[in-house]
Amino acid sequence: MTLSVRARITHSNFIFDVDVDWPAEGVTVLFGRSGSGKTTLLRLIAGLERPSGARVSFRNEIWLNGRCWVPLHRRRIAMVFQEASLLPHLSVRENLLYGYKRTPIAERKLHLDEVVRMLAIENLIERNVNQLSGGERQRVALGRALLTSPRLLLMDEPLSALDTQTKRDILPYFERLVMEADVPIVYVTHAPAEVERLADRVVFLRDGHIDRVETLKHALSRSDSPLFNDEGVVSVIEGQLGLKKEHGLTPFHVGEDCFWLSNPIYSDSVGRSQRLRILAKDVGIVLTKPENTSLLNILPVTIQCIEHAREGHVLLGLRLSGGQNLFAEITAWSCSRLQLLNGVNVYAMIKTVALAE
């Protein structure tokens, strides 16, 4: 079952030309710079663009093809935009129930209590929407969209209008939605951190064309990925959080390996699948495991590849014992001095480990 789009739109100074499909499940992120065509692709899926010759289908159901056109309300799509467009004369509860009451009973998959719990908005339910912060408004807008029980959820840069701290605060609720709501999502962003945190796959757009479609794992496994910005190459490791231990450390289990985190962890995250974000420049290499060191995260790895990086540096592609990938950026001199080669087993020493945020 796929979501498929084929279209060509010509403007005076821009040509949008795509022929793409991807699995209609999980979170698909449309990623690219401003003006790359992300929002145009989203509007085609929603039925807000209807160019001649275009074709859009969802799970073998034709939404647009020649004279055949299914309007937005019959596609059962919900949309969340940059600005939460809540009804100001209604309370939070009334906003949430607005679409729910208009959804036929037989089509209701999600209900008020579970959406309120999922987004942790119990304390907001009786408020007027004018009393809400930006992050709270977006959570309510997301809840209202979910309560229409959509077959597909479209999100157009829903965090771009929020400050950095509010984005960090709201992302865990988006993650919970992804895990619990079981609704395919198409998510537009130009922020790599949001991709790392939420995506199952990434559709890269550039100048109105599809550059490539990749799973997040593949997108992060190549050193030239567009997801890597000024911070350099990043590894994203998937695992599960354990219970906080003595001295405030929290274990993060990745197969047989264990990372130790010192950043605060909420109790309701224990046991949940999470993603760990590690900068390649924060990873060092030793040939034998040191006995006395202040570094807590020292893991056995196998060198998979060695690439030239910025001047005087090389990028090592490493494989953890469980099969996940880890990057390390070290000096070319260190690589030569340690006589590092493909296939050699070494230890990765990681300076800073944090949950992706």
Domain 2-219 CATH superfamily: P-loop containing nucleotide triphosphate hydrolases (3.40.50.300)
Instruction: Average the pLDDT over 135-150 and give the result.
Output: 92
Where are the CATH 2.40.50.100 domain residues in the chain?
Answer: 234-355
Average pLDDT, the chain: 89
Q: Encode pLDDT of 79-112 as tens digits.
A: 998 888 899 999 999 999 998 998 999 989 889 9
Determine the pLDDT at residue 266.
53
Where are the CATH 3.40.50.300 domain residues in the chain?
Answer: 2-219
Q: Residue 15 and residue 35: Cα distance in Å, rounded?
A: 11
Helix, strand and coil in the chain, % to nearest 5: 25, 35, 40
- Among residues 141, 79, 144, the alpha carbon closest in space to that of 133 is found at 141
CB 213 within 8 A of CB 201: yes
Total count of residues recorded for the chain? 357
pLDDT band, residue 73 (cuts 50/70/90): confident
Which residues have CB under 8 Å from 264's CB, separation 6+? none
Determine the pLDDT at residue 205.
96
CB 237 within 8 A of CB 324: yes
Determine the pLDDT at residue 354.
57
- Among residues 268, 281, 331, 325, the alpha carbon closest in space to that of 302 is found at 325
Query: Which class for 290: exposed (0-12), middle (13-18), buried (19 or more C-beta within 10 A)?
Result: exposed
Q: Residue 201 and residue 27: Cα distance in Å, rounded?
A: 7
| Structure-model confidence comparison of residues 338 and 243, the more confident one | 338
91 DSSP 8-state letter? B
For the record, the structure tokens of 87 come out as: 């009804």
CB 97 within 8 A of CB 147: yes
Residue 188 has pLDDT above 80, yes or no: yes
- 252: enclosing H helix or E strand: strand 250-254
Least confident of 1-15, 158-172, 288-302: 158-172
Q: Where are the alpha helices (DSSP H) in 147-230?
A: 164-180, 192-198, 216-219
Q: Encode pLDDT of 21-50 as tens digits.
A: 999 999 999 999 989 999 999 999 999 999
Query: Which class for 271: exposed (0-12), middle (13-18), buried (19 or more C-beta within 10 A)?
Result: exposed
Q: Encode pLDDT of 231-275 as tens digits.
A: 788 899 999 888 877 677 888 899 889 998 876 555 556 777 788
Sheet architecture: strand order including 325-331: 283-286, 345-350, 297-308, 313-320, 325-331
CB 326 within 8 A of CB 259: no
CB 298 within 8 A of CB 348: yes
Give the CATH number of domain 234-355; options: 2.40.160.10, 3.30.9.10, 3.40.50.2000, 2.40.50.100. Answer: 2.40.50.100
